[in-house]
Chain A
Amino acid sequence: MLIARDLCKDYGSTVALKNLNLQVRPGDIYCLLGANGAGKTTAINLFMNFIEPTSGQAIINGIDVTDNPQSTKKHLVYIPENLNLYGNLTGLENLRFFAGLGGALPDKKTAYALLDSVGLQKEAISRRVKEYSKGMRQKVGIAIARAKMADNLLLDEPTSGLDPQASNDFAKLLEELRQKEVAILMATHDLFRAKETGTHIGIMRAGVLIHSLKADEIKLNELEDLYLETMKSNQYAATDH
């Protein structure tokens, strides 16, 4: 479970995130929508402890991230927008390396089966990653998540730049993880994907979570209108940076 409690991040006078409160339960896919600079990536970076919060708490499975940065990472997997793996290693070797670092080193057979299960072509598994497309690398990322059996997944615009087929495949993999009670927090620009994949949707602007709603309570066109209205509204302009 992922919890943000009054989470704030400032860079001097610039507010990157202001009083973020959200909860992602097991089996939830929480999609954060917002323009560039809205604070989506900042929120994810705070959960990852890549940066320290100015105030507030990021909590993973009941553990404060700032106090226990290493132990919280055992419970989560992170897939950034560009999952850059080690080009000189094969997909199999990358999976074993990253899963192994996370304390879940699979044997070669299991690693092979994991990569196969996320739809990576068999002939690609033993090829060096520098020859992989972005979609193939994202699949390795999901395989790492499966290998680690982490119960939290943080995704930072994972489908940006993917072709529709790869994006759809990726969404299916997320759904499989959701059904396995994984708590997923995903930053995205893709309203359609957020509506289709997410269980909850948050709309952010200028570091503030403006709307938080259940995905099945809103239609795609309504979501689009709400999103555009939020982006246009002057109500939040004061905190813009």
Chain B
Amino acid sequence: MQRLIIRKEILSSVRDVRLQVAGIFLLSLMLVAVLVGRQGQQQIQKQRAEAQATMYDKWVNQGLKHPHSAAHYGQFAFKPKSALSFLDVGIDNYTGVSVFLEAHRQHEVLFSAAQDSNGMTRFGEMSVALVLQVLLPLLIIFLTFNVFTREREEGTLKLVHAQGVSMRQLFMGKLWGTYLMVLLIFIPVVCIAYFVLNRETAGLDPHNTGKFVALTLSYALYFLVFILLCILISAFSKSSTFSQLVLLGLWIVACIILPKATTNLADKIHPIPSQFEFRESIKEKVSNGIDGHNPSDVRLAELRKQTLEEYGVSTIDELPVNWSGIAMQAGEEYTDQVYDQEFSRIEEIYKKQNRLSEWVGFINPFLAIRNLSMAIAGTDFQHHVVFTRAAEDYRRAFVKKMNKDMEVNHKPGIAYGDYNVGEEMWSSVEPFAYHLPKLGSILKNQWRSVSALSLWLVVLFALVPLYIAKVPKL
């Protein structure tokens, strides 16, 4: 019986010219987005990898120099483009591409695509995710808004019931029929996306397949939730017009109004300090101490006293090591503490904002899939944080190496300009390498979104047997 209803639903939809046009349009749109997106992603990744190699090459070939000068000469870390970012660009266009790494300062990641492009970028780049999250649900609405109401209006519902079909059997048949219709559009996109993903071994992430499967399943879950919701509304609506209005209203609220409202609300509840406030706070803490009662000159005097005691000498000139190297590394470490504290504060604010959006996923499945999708695609804020941390760790390691060399090898009495090191030293610093988080940690981090989608599914399925028998048959 179920198979008959499913087959009939598919046949009716496939023969509907309006749905044929809409389906082909969406399918074409997604295929173009896959191909263009993948090409763009590979191009950008190639550029960034080349830039990273060029910068490292410059570092290695910077010539003879004092290690501290080299620490200021600095390096660049380029954020690799996640292989799955061609499916969901997430917030990649707004988070910057590269960061300059030098002694004493943590720079921000700069040169976002949004800075370089026109205002249209702010409306979102055409990507597969946009079609899957926003436009495909619109097609689902047109597929489902009248699945029950039309049957009631045209009298076929009576005829179906007259054959001994219960409302629940009919509901489930319609649900799986519509779901298969949606999969008919979704699966070709998945297959082609997987093919283009694996066509060239540009994969930075060996876990791409796992992430791709997780992404596919997440969308499959999202569509099922959306279809269930739409069919339930159609079943309880008195007319097709009413059902269509309700569903379109819900779509506007879920996909347009609520995401914007959530962002604004998050910004109001957890405001981010301005760039000026942020920089001033760091300057203040470096100068007067983290607690405000430990000025830099006092810290330096204390360090000098400790160092002299350690080496059993009474003046800096008598030290067997380079005092400047020690002082700089100590200053570096103190500044790191200040930056860590300030960046953690900002990160925490961003995390709180994102968490709010994830919680709202429990009332809006669109937000749940949006957060989950960009997390799996490697284009969410968490991936940006992981990259900035990796870049910062790298900065600290190479600056420490320069300071240590200065401390140990730049003997007292040798003028700054007379102590230089070369290629052997520079190439002992490994090139910057960044590894994307694994699927397990992504899903763990996104537990709210995963739970929200699962909960939506469970609740909607639970509602079917509870309420479907109450749907009027006439």
Interface stretch of the complex, out of B107-115, B157-165, B355-363: B157-165
Known A89-B8, A101-B4; 9 more pairs at CB < 8 Å: A48-B158, A70-B164, A80-B155, A84-B156, A86-B8, A86-B12, A93-B8, A98-B159, A103-B1
Q: A73-B164, A100-B4, A102-B164 are in contact. Are A78 and B159 (CB under 8 A)?
A: yes
Do A86 and B164 touch (CB < 8 A)?
A: no
Which single member of A71, A78, A105 contacts B162 (CB below 8 Å)? A78
Give residues 59-90 of A contacting B (CB, 8 Å). 70-74, 76-78, 80, 82-86, 88-89
Q: A84-B156, A88-B16 are in contact. Are A77 and B4 (CB under 8 A)?
A: no
The reply on A97 being an interface residue by CB < 8 A is: yes
Chain B residues close to A by CB (< 8 Å):
1, 4-5, 8, 11-12, 15-16, 154-156, 158-166, 473-474
Report the bound CA distance from A88 to B154 in whole Å. Answer: 13
Contact with B along A102-117 (1 / 0, CB 8 A): 1101000000000000
Do B154 and A101 touch (CB < 8 A)?
A: no
Question: What residues of chain A lie closer than 8 Å to B160, measured between beta carbons?
Answer: 98, 101
Report the bound CA distance from A84 to B158 in whole Å. Answer: 10
Report the bound CA distance from A169 to B223 in whole Å. Answer: 49
Report the bound CA distance from A73 to B164 in whole Å. Answer: 5
The reply on A212 being an interface residue by CB < 8 A is: no
Report the bound CA distance from A82 to B156 in whole Å. Answer: 10
Chain A residues close to B by CB (< 8 Å):
45, 48-51, 70-74, 76-78, 80, 82-86, 88-89, 93, 97-98, 100-103, 105, 128
Do B164 and A71 touch (CB < 8 A)?
A: yes
Number of A-B contacts (CB under 8 A): 69
Do A82 and B163 touch (CB < 8 A)?
A: no
Do A88 and B164 touch (CB < 8 A)?
A: no
Do A101 and B165 touch (CB < 8 A)?
A: yes
Do A88 and B1 touch (CB < 8 A)?
A: no
Name B15's closest neighbour in chain A (CB-CB): A88
Q: Output the least CB separation between B469 and chain A (Å).
A: 11
Q: A51-B474, A89-B12, A97-B4 are in contact. Are A84 and B159 (CB under 8 A)?
A: yes
Name B164's closest neighbour in chain A (CB-CB): A73
Q: A89-B12, A101-B1 are in contact. Are A48 and B161 (CB under 8 A)?
A: yes
Q: A48-B161, A84-B154 are in contact. Are A93 and B11 (CB under 8 A)?
A: yes
- Could you show 5 A-B contacts with beta carbons less than 8 Å apart? A48-B158, A50-B161, A70-B164, A98-B159, A100-B4
Report the bound CA distance from A78 to B162 in whole Å. Answer: 6
Do A77 and B162 touch (CB < 8 A)?
A: yes
Q: A97-B4, A97-B8, A101-B163 are in contact. Are A86 and B156 (CB under 8 A)?
A: yes
Name A82's closest neighbour in chain B (CB-CB): B155
Do B158 and A80 touch (CB < 8 A)?
A: yes
Name A100's closest neighbour in chain B (CB-CB): B4
Q: Which of B4, B5, B161, B163 is most buried by chain A, counting CB atoms within 10 A of its CB?
A: B163
Do B11 and A50 touch (CB < 8 A)?
A: no
Instruction: Please name the 6 residue pairs, one residue from A and one from B, whose CB atoms are nearest each other, closest first.
Output: A73-B164, A101-B163, A78-B162, A102-B163, A84-B155, A88-B15
Question: What residues of chain B lie closer than 8 Å to A101, measured between beta carbons?
Answer: 1, 4-5, 160, 163-165
Q: A45-B474, A85-B156, A101-B1 are in contact. Are A73 and B162 (CB under 8 A)?
A: yes
